[in-house]
Amino acid sequence: MKNSKNRDLFRFIIVLAIIVLLNIIGSLKFFRLDLTSENRYSLSEATKSLLKSFDDVLYVKVYLDGDFPAGFQRLQRETRQMLDEFRAYNENIEYQFINPDASDDPKISGQIKQQLQFKGLKPFSLQVREQGGNTELEIYPGAIMSYGDKEVPVLLLLDQFAASPEAQVNNSIQNLEFQLANGIRALVASSKPSVGFLYGHGELEPKYIADFARSIGDNYTLDRFDIRKFRSDSTGEQISIQDQQRKLNRFDALIVAKPREPFTDLDKYLIDQYIMNGGKVVWLVDAVYAEMDSLSEKSQFISFPIYDKLRISDMLFRYGVRINTNLVQDIISAGVSDRRSVNNWIYFPLVMPQVKHPITKDLNAVKLDFVSSLDTIIAPGIKKTVLLKSSPYSRTVATPHIVSLQRLYEEPNQALFNQKFLPLGVLLEGSFESAFKNRLLPKENGPEQLKLKTEGDHTQMVVIGDGDIIRNQLNILNPNIPKGTPLPLGFDQFTGQQYGNKNLLLNIMDYMLDDSGLISIRSRELKLRLLNPEKVRGNRLYWQLINTLVPVAVIILFGILLTFIRKRKYA
């Protein structure tokens, strides 16, 4: 008996020593184990590196507290778990879940909601089914992050056109790490890439790109660059092209938003050499003149080609893409309001990005206005990815073409829309060949000798056959804000629809300029094992009985079995 007690005591001491040793090792070496099949709780290396880059308190206010349906409870739970995972790598992260409707005073709740909208969190109307009927609940599924004196909004629920609420929540959960980490990046980044909006060819005025400029201002430094404004040399007698090149090369990326005037050979030379030196360019080009404003005065207008007038076709052709001088019509299209009703307008294709790429993953539908199709050209060493495609029910019409308002009220003949998946936007990646290779250099340089780099460094560019994809509307309907105020990019004030234009362009900039690698997180696929709602409703009583009676039956059976064993043992 004594030996047995000593043996038990020895085992207890050994187990206790092992536990203490493991705790000591755990305090010295940080590690976490993720046993999920898709590594749901494993942060990317880019996120871990970001979390280690700051040492002051970063506060997160999450407005996802309250009585929500099951789907939003999952989003709430996953957000909390993601923030806990962030805190495991940096204890300076603090968070709080807040219910905007917690106050009994409706005025206070209204003021809080107005502040949230002012800070950039948009409301989401949620239909809640109850036994007495449906009730509408306004929620703000987002967070406000603050670090020092800086503050950024983070949207946690992705808005996706024609997607079911379950799919929206699922996709939002997949993007939680990227959304939260991207918000932290905007707050703690010490240096930001530089983005320039090119001017000098009739590009969009600043008020029409104001919302996009504001949106990327958190992660990038912005400036306007007029390529036609030269500074004279020290003698004041000739312009300095080399100085213009240096000013252009300070930008990490250029955005060319809807040019309308011709590019000179010198303009093209400067841009070409910028690309050869690794500069990135986003080309948003209208190849056809067609403006919806023309229909405000007349019931029809003639659209006509302007691409050749711009004189950039040879450049883009050498880089691997051609913009066609046509108009794409699509049955899957955005609506136009005539103040009585909203009708689909075949000249406004509604693109549902389906390419598996970090730029387009889980995007809302993108609205295009009078867009032209693209053709990719053979260019050695250039990888081409079509980001935007038309629907299976589309077609092209040659220009000049009469655009008539009467088409708004006509039912499209589906037999005529027999072209599908027309390329509308393409990503080009690789080392481009100079458009001036084997060609004469511009002559207006005077005595200054121009240098030519014929083979470029590895870089990227995006070409989209619609200049208005970046254009925000100006307020004319909302009496609560001044007329002429820039509205959010992608929001149509006449139909009340929000499209994914802004997120598409933000993803393009992040993909091209974010060296931290956060954009790669968007490629992750997290599968949620959702219940089938039809089967749940059909077998509701069955599963209620199973969950209620089976545990009781197991306890009774266990009691009977235990009684029988005791009788056999002690009888």
pLDDT in tens, 397-450: 999 999 998 888 889 899 999 999 999 999 999 999 999 998 888 865 455 678
Mean pLDDT of 516-544: 68
Rg (CA), the chain: 30
Mean pLDDT of 258-277: 95
- Is the Cβ–Cβ distance between 442 and 407 less than 8 Å? no
Which among 34-43, 99-108, 421-430 has the top mean pLDDT? 421-430
Q: Is the pLDDT of residue 27 over 90?
A: no
Domain match, 70 and 134 both: yes
Mean pLDDT of 354-377: 90
- Is the Cβ–Cβ distance between 97 and 75 less than 8 Å? no
Domain match, 4 and 138 both: no
Domain match, 178 and 280 both: no
Predicted local distance difference test score (pLDDT) of residue 219: 87
Structural domain includes residue 92: yes
Mean per-residue pLDDT over the chain, rounded: 86
Across 386-406, b (16+ Cβ under 10 Å) vs e yields: bbbbbbebbbebebebebebe
CA–CA separation, 537 vs 289, rounded Å?
55
- Which residues make Cβ contacts (< 8 Å) with residue 435, sequence separation at least 6? 268, 272, 314, 315, 318, 319
- Which residues make Cβ contacts (< 8 Å) with residue 419, sequence separation at least 6? 390, 394, 395, 396
Between 256 and 119, residue with greater pLDDT = 256
Q: Is the pLDDT of residue 149 over 60?
A: yes
State the angle between helix axes of 241-249 and 265-276 in degrees (0 to 180), rounded to the nearest 10: 50
Domain match, 412 and 267 both: yes
- Is the Cβ–Cβ distance between 192 and 222 less than 8 Å? no
Structural domain includes residue 526: no
pLDDT band at 255 (very low <50, low <70, confident <90, very high): very high
Q: Is the pLDDT of residue 31 over 60?
A: no
Among 74-83, 273-282, 294-303, 513-522, the minimum mean pLDDT is found in: 513-522
- Is the Cβ–Cβ distance between 505 and 219 less than 8 Å? no
Domain match, 235 and 358 both: yes
Q: Is the pLDDT of residue 2 over 70?
A: no
Mean pLDDT of 234-240: 60
Cβ-in-10-Å burial (0-12, 13-18, 19+) of 357 comes to middle
Rounded to whole angstroms, what are the CA distances from 390 to 189, 328, 346, 470? 37, 8, 11, 18
Segment 165-215, tens digit of pLDDT: 777 778 788 888 889 998 999 888 878 899 999 999 999 999 999 999 998
- Is the Cβ–Cβ distance between 389 and 422 less than 8 Å? yes
Per cent of the chain over pLDDT 90 is 45
Q: Is the pLDDT of residue 135 over 60?
A: yes
Predicted local distance difference test score (pLDDT) of residue 4: 63
Segment 367-377, tens digit of pLDDT: 999 999 999 99
Among 67-71, 97-101, 146-150, 217-221, the minimum mean pLDDT is found in: 67-71
Q: Tell me, yes or no, if the pTM score tops 0.85.
A: no
DSSP character for 471?
P
Query: Hey, what are 49's tokens?
Result: 């590196």
CA 27 and chain centroid, separation = 39
Domain match, 305 and 421 both: yes
Structural domain includes residue 414: yes
pLDDT band at 19 (very low <50, low <70, confident <90, very high): confident
Which among 56-60, 160-164, 236-240, 522-526 has the top mean pLDDT? 56-60
Domain match, 504 and 564 both: no
Predicted local distance difference test score (pLDDT) of residue 93: 92
Structural domain includes residue 398: yes
Segment 436-472, tens digit of pLDDT: 998 888 865 455 678 889 999 999 999 999 999 999 9
Q: Which domain holds residue 98?
A: 37-185
Cβ-in-10-Å burial (0-12, 13-18, 19+) of 372 comes to buried
Tokens 């992750």 correspond to: 524
Domain match, 303 and 377 both: yes
Domain count, the chain: 4
DSSP character for 38?
T
Structural domain includes residue 237: yes
Among 51-65, 242-256, 304-318, 521-535, the minimum mean pLDDT is found in: 521-535
Structural domain includes residue 353: yes
CA–CA separation, 323 vs 423, rounded Å?
10
pLDDT band at 28 (very low <50, low <70, confident <90, very high): low
Cβ-in-10-Å burial (0-12, 13-18, 19+) of 203 comes to buried
Domain match, 81 and 135 both: yes
Predicted local distance difference test score (pLDDT) of residue 257: 96
Q: How many residues does the chain have?
A: 571
Tokens 């004189």 correspond to: 311
Domain match, 548 and 502 both: no
Mean pLDDT of 227-253: 78
Domain match, 258 and 235 both: yes
CA–CA separation, 35 vs 45, rounded Å?
18
Structural domain includes residue 232: yes
Mean pLDDT of 351-373: 89
Mean pLDDT of 327-355: 90
Domain match, 94 and 206 both: no
Strand-strand pairing, 342-351 and 366-367: antiparallel
Structural domain includes residue 524: no
- Which residues make Cβ contacts (< 8 Å) with residue 464, sequence separation at least 6? 282, 283, 284, 285, 371, 388, 424, 425, 426
Segment 477-501, tens digit of pLDDT: 888 889 999 999 999 999 988 899 9
